[in-house]
Structure 1
């Protein structure tokens, strides 16, 4: 075999390899985000997908430097200079990079910069294969920010599906008074009072089956003190749908619960007091009504008594008139007896017997007159007393009427107190119902 035949064969193999490589690069350019630079960073060509991703036309990029995709502060740094020097030496650079589109929008890429060598082994250009991970990175950052916010604002703890503690953040540990090494590997029951698992024996079995729990829970600190939390226990599934851990987010609501308990206790006291007030008002009102009834009957009796006393006074007037008549008759009888005695004296012995009779009549008339005066005095005194009694009874009747009016006013006030107490009791009871 002649030497030139061997050289021709090697040349053909090189040409074939170059053609194959060219086909590979062409195929990559059609389906991947690619761009090719010279060793100094000037753009030689870019794939349609790259142009689309960065918002350029081909003629806008040809011959331009790579720095048009980068932040100015980065391109002026020593790191950027070393970046292209390393690529020119044949080194490969891979990672996540921040670049900017034609409109100035941030484009985050995962890319590999690798050298392309010529026949002599020298680097003739640099090829970059990239993928746009902007949305992926933004979502990851958003998820990270969300997790950071949750850890800043909530107590977070992670468990195995059986309740064994995996990890806990600072908020959780400080809230319950533990260090991380005191809780890792321990069971959730270390935070609970005995009655929790007595009432919820299948708590972790249900969580392991995918059921979430949320609500208020009473927990125990490392000092044995009560701690009320608002918490959610959320099962976390893997790609197979299997629960591989449980995450709990919690916030301390002890002060709120204590405040609610104090309000509830105050409401109970207010409700009880309102009921007692209502009952006392009702009983007091009944007593007042009874008193009003008694007072009314007393006024009725006084009215009757006053009427009777007035009738008695009227009768006393009649008796007085009768006594006057009797007195007048006695005086006339006395005069007649005196005249008869005079006539008997004139008659001498014949009139002596008549004189005796006349004298007796005169004496009887005199006694009648004296008795009449005594009766008159008694009647006058009786009339005076009757007037005093009538006035006294009128005074009593007036006082009784005035007292009855005041009692009625108090009764109306007691009715208002009763109604108000009933309203308070109803309002407090409604509040208690809404609170529960």
Structure 2
């Protein structure tokens, strides 16, 4: 499918994308050069506050200090590869935000990286709900396991009791038979 958009259609297309998607653009020094309202709001900033903020400010210290962080940027800036995954970032107030993100390098005519664009969806609520649901399922599973173990123990006790009743019944039948035979041998009347 080939889209031949005139300049007005392109502008409408990009405006619609920027309205619906959270977008942030970094320069090769890993500093914000643009953010739309949706991305800024998700991170707890205004778009103006984000200008020149370094990418590492949105990351937790452990990640910034890791080899993964350096590899992430090397992949974008040197290998010129896109990155897509669920990521954990830090909002302005220090709270966790979970994003489903796509980062991709923007190349100039000479195939040199000039910017990195990130498009993201805030999935924090969905992940929180999923975590809560998984916890409830695990708790239910543990409760059912305990009930099952308790039930098995009760069945085992009941089985032992039935064996004892059967043994007593067999002994009683034997004793009754012996009594009957004794009565026949030694009648009272």
TM bin, normalised by shorter chain, reads 0.7 to 0.9
CA contact (8 A) 1:161 1:204 kept: no
Q: Per-residue displacement from partner, 1:215-242 (whole Å, max 9, x unpaired)?
A: 1111111111111111100111111111
Is 1:204 aligned to residue 73 of structure 2?
A: yes
Match of 2:37 in 1: 170
Match of 1:238 in 2: 108
Decide whether aligned partners of structure 1 residues 199 and 304 sit closer, same or farther in structure 2, where only a CA change above 3 A counts.
farther
CA contact (8 A) 1:216 1:229 kept: yes
Match of 2:55 in 1: 188
**Alignment length, in residue pairs?**
184
Secondary structure of 1:143's partner?
helix
What is the CA–CA distance in structure 2 between the aligned matches of 1:153 and 1:196, rounded to whole Å? 29
Structure 2's unaligned 5+ residue stretches are none
Structure 1's unaligned 5+ residue stretches are 1-134, 321-436
Q: Which has the larger radius of gyration?
A: 1
What is the CA–CA distance in structure 1 between the aligned matches of 2:67 and 2:177, rounded to whole Å? 82
Q: How does 1:96-107 map to 2 (within 5 A)?
A: none
Task: Pick which of 305-314 and 257-266 moved more.
Answer: 305-314
Match of 1:47 in 2: none
Give the drift of 1:199.
Answer: 5.5
Q: How does 1:85-104 map to 2 (within 5 A)?
A: none
Give the drift of 1:283.
Answer: 2.3
Secondary structure of 1:284's partner?
helix
What is the CA–CA distance in structure 2 between the aligned matches of 1:199 and 1:296, rounded to whole Å? 70
What is the CA–CA distance in structure 2 between the aligned matches of 1:277 and 1:144, rounded to whole Å? 63
Give the drift of 1:165.
Answer: 0.9
Give the drift of 1:249.
Answer: 0.6
Is 1:279 aligned to residue 146 of structure 2?
A: no
Give the drift of 1:275.
Answer: 2.5
Alignment partner for residue 270 of structure 1, among 112, 136, 140?
140
Match of 1:150 in 2: 17
What is the CA–CA distance in structure 2 between the aligned matches of 1:307 and 1:159, rounded to whole Å? 98
Secondary structure of 2:134's partner?
helix
Alignment partner for residue 227 of structure 1, among 75, 97, 103?
97
Q: Per-residue displacement from partner, 1:320-364 (whole Å, max 9, x unpaired)?
A: 3xxxxxxxxxxxxxxxxxxxxxxxxxxxxxxxxxxxxxxxxxxxx
Is 1:308 aligned to residue 178 of structure 2?
A: yes
What is the CA–CA distance in structure 2 between the aligned matches of 1:195 and 1:311, rounded to whole Å? 89
Q: Per-residue displacement from partner, 1:103-127 (whole Å, max 9, x unpaired)?
A: xxxxxxxxxxxxxxxxxxxxxxxxx
Give the drift of 1:204.
Answer: 1.5
